[in-house]
Structure 1
Amino acid sequence: MKNLLVTGGAGFIGTNFVYYWLDKYPEDHIVVLDALTYAGNKANLTEAEKNPKFEFVHGNILDQSLVETLLENHNIDTIVHFAAESHVDRSIHGPDEFINTNIVGTHTLLKAAKKIWLDADNKSHRFHHISTDEVYGTLGPDDPPFTELTPYAPNSPYAASKASSDHLVRAYHETYGLNTTISNCSNNYGPFQFPEKLIPLVIINVLFNKPLPIYGDGRQIRDWLYVDDHNRGVDLILEKGIPGQTYNIGGTNEWANIDIVHLICDLLLKKFSNDTSLAKQFANSPAAQANHPASLISHVKDRAGHDRRYAINAKKIKNNLGFIPEESFETGIRKTLTWFLDHQPWWNELLDVSYKDWIAVNYA
């Protein structure tokens, strides 16, 4: 039985991880620590809060005293560290918050873990750090995918902050003997994803007849991973991963952004044609009049320093830990689309003034 502290557990990936873990390991105890910034939503965890093995704590990873108290009082033996500022555009316009949360916040967690787990008791433990493929920089069209040995070359303040936190985690293993592991994942998608991200943004904008803003030519390529496949990878690392090691978790599923937008438009048009209630629910959508939503595509000025391609070589986690994604992109994107259509009240609550202002600033 494990006692887990999940940081950022009210965010997109963290929320899905909590439900995944509670379902698979019903005897384990989970404490979520989340500051509930704009992308953290306590309502995500409504069902989890009905479980006596779950506890939510509203607090910040920068509060070392709070973290130490949680580690001691709940006999925490495993930290799964999701908490991070994660949107590249926001990091370009306001990098300070990324430095503070992603670097200083991670270091604060490491200091607390060292104090409670090593300095006081030297108890069995694991600190797992969730990172990103963006730390590796960008790839050309014919370059081989990133491996765990690819040199770091971050190109955005977000990627640089995550690279820095990766180095700190590694250093705490090498210097102090903290049992750490790191996973660098490709682009996640699925339920509970904040609407500023590409896939939910396209879905919601089609439903409300809003432009679909595409950076540059839209040929930027990403490797896409369904969120619960990511969680399965983290599970395997916690179970069988070697302390001090890094594991890349990818879907081996490269798509250009513009092709994903066209796919979602095609799927939504088909959904509307098969379900007449959608036309009543979203009467302004072009799909409600049997018009193709791709007409909403609008190419905008490219993002500063926009990486052209990411791709993950996941052979290490596959060969060493037995990781194989369960979802194809076709099955995963259909699940995601259905979830967003079925959960309008959830995402409608997030479409507040700050989000609308952010859209206006970035996609004007």
Structure 2
Amino acid sequence: MPVPPFLLWRPGRVQRRIFDAVLAAAVTLVCLLSAVESPAAGPHESAWVTLVASLAMGAPLAVRRLVPLGAAAVVLSAAAVCLATGLVPDFAFPGPVLAAGIALYSVGAQVPGRRAVMALVAGAALVAAATVVADDSADGPGSFEVALVVLVFGVCWLLGWTLRERRAHAARTAAQATTQAVTEERLRIAREIHDIVGHSLTVIAVKSAIGSHVAAERPAEASAALDVIAATSRSALTELRRAVGALRTDPDFAPTPTLAELRKLADRAAEAGIDVRLDVRGDCEVPEGVALAAVRIVQESLTNVVKHAGPTSCRVDVEGVPGELRVEVTNDGTTARRPAVDGAGLTGMRERVAMHAGALTAGPRDQGGFRVRATLPYEQPA
């Protein structure tokens, strides 16, 4: 499930300070208006007392992110005093409640664990007690208003707590997605390098052994083996540079291997002593990812034939049908050496097939030899 962007958005420090300063000024003004008596009743306290009380309820909100518990303690205490003493008349009690609710919201959003719950309980109890005292003086809110105060405090705190939990969950989800993406990219690069280096080094190892064996008696054959080694090395270096380019930040415009590469793989295996019969038929206009997977599967299969089967015959069949590419590599196994079924190469093939929701079977044949069969489905353009 994608993470909503607004949950990960964080305003800058200057933006937060400006917003909190404006909020504190607005709440102070609301509390100032709440503390002013109605003209009919006439004022019963000095103007400076009203101003100080209003600042005590509103100004701490400017630092609510830095010291949420301290700001909440000052705001809740000031609101309780104003309500208990009648400084704020009964018809204007929502002003102090608004200031205290914002402070408790900040506690829920900023303070984790038990301290946030304790702040909610203590704040609600303090202001509720103040409203009871004011009710005894016949000037404060009644029991309905007491319940309303507790409800508002609980809702404000719960909103802050919910936002904090959602943000924490979004951050964990984003971190997990990043870790998974990095892991998948490493596996992809590991498969590419294994397929490229493994195939080429296998051919080089076989031809170097042949060249060393016949160097004294058949120098022409040894020279041909060296030519194969040189060509294979150059080709491996080219493909390796392309794979390593995926680790760089610069864009890589090298073309992705296509099914045309299968002929080169067959020729390279033939140079290592394998009689390869390649048959590509059907609709082979497939997506780049499917073509790359097919090329790497054939490459790894031929590498295993060169490495484990020795000089033998091998058949590569690639068939394209609507919505699916089928790949099959078989060898007759005349030297009776079978490839390991749990190696990194076959694991890489399974991963490539799984990326396309396909199927892979690999194992010995009843009549001898080894078979690798893969199906790579893909969506056809409408």
Instruction: With the length of structure 1 as denominator, give the TM-score of the two structures.
Output: 0.19
Higher RCO, 1 or 2 (CA under 8 Å, sep at least 6)?
Answer: 1
Q: Which has the higher helix share?
A: 2
Instruction: With the length of structure 2 as denominator, give the TM-score of the two structures.
Output: 0.18
Q: Which has the higher strand share?
A: 1
Larger Rg: 2
